């Protein structure tokens, strides 16, 4: 059994101050994928994570205090590769890959399009380029686990009040169409294999008491290639963990 946790921490140092290490020590996942670390390697209190058993690998944005991803794992990866070979994304620290035997874990932090047309266009370009990157990778590494913040609600039941959100970045028809094609190309949304209920969210706006009223979005995922579908044991969301405006999502696999 291997447990993998994905968590957009909205600043890893801030999350540590809010009890992140205590949560991890108790939850004890085998692999943790953090997004939006907002820190350079060496600034993430790596020694404290190492003290509770984790090997630390990170890919930070060139711009300090922005974006960034990290994979912390109990087992040392056989190989770690940062980026997808496209500078405009790699300079923002958006994708980190770690190989464990024949399993590849990819931590992805999709751009947000909420600040306007320019960033929305970059987001749409990233979605195309990321899919091409995965297609090429699958030629040599067929067993992929893609964890992270996709900044897209995949299904109608993955967002509160979907009727009114269709013009909002993160729930645009073209974003959901991309996600549908992505899943159709041999990928599995692990959470929806386990749980078909509505109102299951992983992010809430800080405005209008959204979290208390559970007016949220499910934008954090563990997506696996279809050859790993029979290995899914459990998947879930931990909405009561509150070091960020996101909460952790997990998958348990039988390896």
- Residue-number span of the structural domain to which 72 is assigned: 2-253
End-to-end CA distance of the chain: 5
Distances (CA, A) of 77 to 32, 53, 187, 227, 254: 12, 14, 23, 21, 18
Give 127-176 pLDDT, tens digit per residue: 999 999 999 999 999 999 999 999 999 999 999 999 999 999 999 999 99
Query: What DSSP designation does 129 have?
Result: H
**From 30, 47, 78, 149, active-site residue:** 149
The token duo for 213 is: 């009223």
149 is catalytic: yes
Q: What is the CATH number of the domain that holds 193?
A: 3.60.10.10
Rounded CA gap, 186 and 164, in Å? 31
Average pLDDT over residues 191-199: 97
pLDDT of residue 223: 99
Give the number of domains in the chain. Answer: 1
Nearest to 235 by CA among 202, 212, 206: 202
pLDDT for 25 beyond 90: yes
């Amino acid at each position: 059994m291997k447990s993998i946790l994905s968590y957009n921490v909205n600043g890893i140092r801030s999350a540590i101050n809010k009890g992140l290490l205590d949560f991890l020590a108790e939850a004890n996942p085998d692999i943790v994928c953090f997004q939006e670390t907002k820190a350079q390697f060496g600034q993430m209190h790596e020694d404290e994570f190492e003290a509770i058993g984790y090997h630390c690998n990170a890919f930070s944005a060139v711009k300090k205090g922005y974006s960034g991803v990290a994979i912390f794992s109990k087992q040392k990866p056989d190989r770690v590769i940062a980026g997808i070979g496209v500078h405009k994304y790699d300079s923002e620290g958006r994708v980190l890959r770690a190989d464990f035997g024949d399993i590849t874990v990819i931590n992805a932090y999709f751009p947000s399009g909420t600040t306007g047309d320019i960033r929305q266009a970059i987001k749409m370009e990233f979605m195309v380029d990321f899919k091409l990157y995965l297609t090429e990778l699958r030629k040599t590494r067929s067993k992929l686990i893609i964890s992270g913040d996709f900044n897209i609600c995949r299904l109608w039941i993955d967002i509160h009040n979907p009727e009114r959100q269709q013009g909002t970045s993160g729930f645009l028809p073209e974003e959901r169409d991309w996600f549908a094609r992505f899943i159709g190309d041999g990928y599995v949304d692990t959470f929806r294999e386990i749980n078909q209920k509505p109102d299951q969210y992983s992010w809430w706006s800080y405005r209008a008491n959204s979290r208390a009223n559970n007016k949220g979005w499910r934008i954090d995922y563990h997506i696996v290639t279809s050859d790993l579908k029979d290995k899914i044991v459990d998947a879930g969301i931990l909405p009561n963990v509150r070091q960020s405006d996101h909460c952790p999502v997990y998958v348990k696999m039988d390896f």
